[in-house]
Amino acid sequence: DLKRVTRALLSVSDKTGLVDFARALVARGIELVSTGGTQKALAEAGLPVRDVSDLTGFPEMMDGRVKTLHPAVHGGLLGIRANPEHQAAMLAHGIPQIDLLVVNLYPFEATVAANRPHDDCIENIDIGGPAMIRAAAKNHGDVAVVVDGADYAAVLDELAAHEGAVTRTLRRRLAQKAYARTAAYDAAISNWLAAELGEPTPPFRALGGAIAEVLRYGENPHQTAAFYRTPEQRPGVATARQVQGKQLSYNNINDTDAAYEAVAEFDAARSAAIVIVKHANPCGVAEGATLREAYEKALRCDPVSAFGGIVAMNRTLDADAAKAIVDIFTEVIIAPDATEDAIAIVAAKKNLRLLLAGRLPDPRQGGLTLRTVAGGFLAQNRDNAVVDAMDLKVVTKRAPTERELADLRFAFRVAKHVKSNAIVYVKDGATVGIGAGQMSRVDSSRIAAWKAAEAAKAAGLPETLARGSVVASDAFFPFADGLLAAAEAGATAIIQPGGSMRDDEVIKAADEAGLAMVFTGHRHFRH
């Protein structure tokens, strides 16, 4: 379904590549029509070009606010070629057919980004450009519309291949892109006005202003998906530089985010920390003097789940750690930075994605999190509570020792990033058993204890890794049973929010078992 191009209307703010493109159109015998600045640029290059005022019979007026907003332009874009009534109207009113529209808009986004005064931003709201783009895109059955200089070559290729005509396939593709452009443009204007009004960022603004990256598929291969980057600029998977490896998948992005957000809880100045994530849950978290030590400790927690996992760290990836990580199949590594040697070691694994985020996100920083439900979505502030800022209350007769307290804090930090119900066993700055995502807390306790026993077996150790550990729970123990399961598994101290109706009963059970227990007063549900 080819359409010949006989006349083109060009009206561009960004004149990059314009003259060469227009010269190629002229060489094909295409008539050019243009607005003020564009017309001047083309005429100066020696190209024959009509002024749009010739078509409209009106001069550009009101500082250019009104130049193409006229039936002679919009009729020429919108008239259906095969419709006799449309053709009669065009003939009766002397409306020339426009087959190709080339427009890029007033640089509104750039004007806002440059912090220009209000009135400059207002003047840079393009009205005529989007109107023409939308008209031409609607009529893509007959008209081709170019909104991006990157598409000039594709148009010229088709004109060359089809004797001055363009295919329906290209016209449709260009129309789709055109509407994406005008939608993003209007979203940017709305976002700017909202910001001027001092409105809090509603979730749809973040979405509207974002640019989507189409992903190969979603959570499953039969689902389509895209990645929207919001203007938030939080260091992490959305802003990181991908040094190597295949395109990230939907699940990779989700898991990498979970891993990097979790590892950011660990102060890089204090210790090296590693988080290994699988299916959005940590399966090993540890700190150490070096990243390699931390990685080996984290891996010991659940080496089976770590296979094909995501590894995040809070310090610059070094060669020693890189060697250990590439030793087993890993999907993604994310770090604030990496040494040249480490990058070279990772390069040996072609498919392994390496992401460098520049720095760590601040776990205390606010921001929105979203999730959809049927017919709507939920928005909330990010869980930015950190255990170091919590007032820990010892509720048992025995207070935790210094070492237990350090591990309790560590465990609660991890529990924040484990799907509820979360139970986390920690010993010497490393998780040794994680129970995630169970509907009953006692099941999570049992799973975590079982995992600690399994990890010991895998390491060839005679006794469960939970022996002498501490345990964290993301929410209060409603009954003593989950807590007693932990004591039985070998835990000596417990950290939990507290606040159950049966706190007294739970504290009594802890005292009887000789456990030390602290309440945080903060819950870390995560679903």
Does 412 bind ligand 93A (CB under 6 A)? Our answer is no
Please identify, among the stretches 120-128, 276-284, 334-342, 385-393, the one whose residues bind ligand 93A according to the rule CB under 6 A.
Answer: 120-128
Structure tokens at 382: 């990010």
Which position among 105, 170, 274, 489 is part of the footprint of ligand 93A (CB under 6 A)? 105
Distance CA 49, CA 52 (A): 9
**Are 423 and 448 contacting, i.e. CB atoms less than 8 angstroms apart?**
yes
Instruction: Catalogue the long-range contacts made by 503-512 (C-beta closer than 8 Å, 24 or more residues apart).
Output: 503/395, 503/476, 505/479, 505/480, 506/476, 506/477, 506/479, 506/480, 507/395, 507/396, 508/480, 509/480, 509/483, 509/484, 510/395, 510/396, 510/483, 511/396, 511/397, 511/398
Which position among 19, 31, 64, 511 is part of the footprint of ligand 93A (CB under 6 A)? 64
Residues with catalytic roles: 138, 279
CB of 294 to ligand 93A, least distance (A): 54
Distance CA 116, CA 141 (A): 40
Q: What's the one-letter identity of residue 240?
A: A
Which position among 53, 55, 68, 432 is part of the footprint of ligand 93A (CB under 6 A)? 68
Residues 265-284 that bind ligand 93A (CB under 6 A): none
Please identify, among the stretches 103-111, 168-176, 293-301, 360-368, the one whose residues bind ligand 93A according to the rule CB under 6 A.
Answer: 103-111
- Kindly tell me which of 64 and 164 has the beta carbon lying closer to ligand 93A: 64
Does 35 bind ligand 93A (CB under 6 A)? Our answer is yes
- Kindly tell me which of 148 and 219 has the beta carbon lying closer to ligand 93A: 148
Does 140 bind ligand 93A (CB under 6 A)? Our answer is no
- Kindly tell me which of 33 and 517 has the beta carbon lying closer to ligand 93A: 33
- Kindly tell me which of 64 and 71 has the beta carbon lying closer to ligand 93A: 64
Segments in 209-284 forming alpha helices (H):
250-263
SS3 56: helix
- Kindly tell me which of 33 and 324 has the beta carbon lying closer to ligand 93A: 33
Does 128 bind ligand 93A (CB under 6 A)? Our answer is yes
Q: Are strands 470-473 and 225-229 parallel, antiparallel or unpaired?
A: unpaired
Does 127 bind ligand 93A (CB under 6 A)? Our answer is yes
Distance CA 125, CA 193 (A): 12
Which position among 43, 66, 328, 406 is part of the footprint of ligand 93A (CB under 6 A)? 66
CB of 196 to ligand 93A, least distance (A): 20
Please identify, among the stretches 87-95, 102-110, 170-178, 292-300, the one whose residues bind ligand 93A according to the rule CB under 6 A.
Answer: 102-110
**Are 287 and 294 contacting, i.e. CB atoms less than 8 angstroms apart?**
yes
Please identify, among the stretches 60-68, 114-122, 336-344, 403-411, the one whose residues bind ligand 93A according to the rule CB under 6 A.
Answer: 60-68
Spell out a b/e string for 205-217, using b for 16 or more CB atoms within 10 Å of the CB, else e: bbebbbeeeebee
- Kindly tell me which of 13 and 242 has the beta carbon lying closer to ligand 93A: 13
Please identify, among the stretches 88-96, 125-133, 190-198, 320-328, the one whose residues bind ligand 93A according to the rule CB under 6 A.
Answer: 125-133
- The interaxial angle of helices 480-489 and 441-458, nearest 10 deg, is 10
Does 36 bind ligand 93A (CB under 6 A)? Our answer is yes
Does 38 bind ligand 93A (CB under 6 A)? Our answer is yes
CB of 128 to ligand 93A, least distance (A): 2
CB of 238 to ligand 93A, least distance (A): 30
The DSSP bridge partners found for residue 214 are: 226
- Kindly tell me which of 105 and 333 has the beta carbon lying closer to ligand 93A: 105
Distance CA 293, CA 413 (A): 19
Distance CA 466, CA 485 (A): 11
Does 106 bind ligand 93A (CB under 6 A)? Our answer is yes
Distance CA 469, CA 122 (A): 62
CB of 16 to ligand 93A, least distance (A): 13
CB of 64 to ligand 93A, least distance (A): 5
Structure tokens at 333: 């590594």
- The interaxial angle of helices 84-92 and 71-78, nearest 10 deg, is 160
As a 3-state breakdown, the chain gives helix, strand, coil percent values, each rounded to 5, of 40, 20, 40
Please identify, among the stretches 7-15, 172-180, 206-214, 243-251, the one whose residues bind ligand 93A according to the rule CB under 6 A.
Answer: 7-15
Report the C-alpha dihedral over residues 161, 164, 170, 176, rounded to 10 degrees: 160
Distance CA 227, CA 211 (A): 8
Does 13 bind ligand 93A (CB under 6 A)? Our answer is yes
- Kindly tell me which of 104 and 271 has the beta carbon lying closer to ligand 93A: 104
Binding mask 15-34 for ligand 93A (x = CB under 6 A): --------------------
Q: Which residues bind ligand 93A (CB under 6 A)?
A: 11-13, 35-38, 64-69, 103-106, 126-129
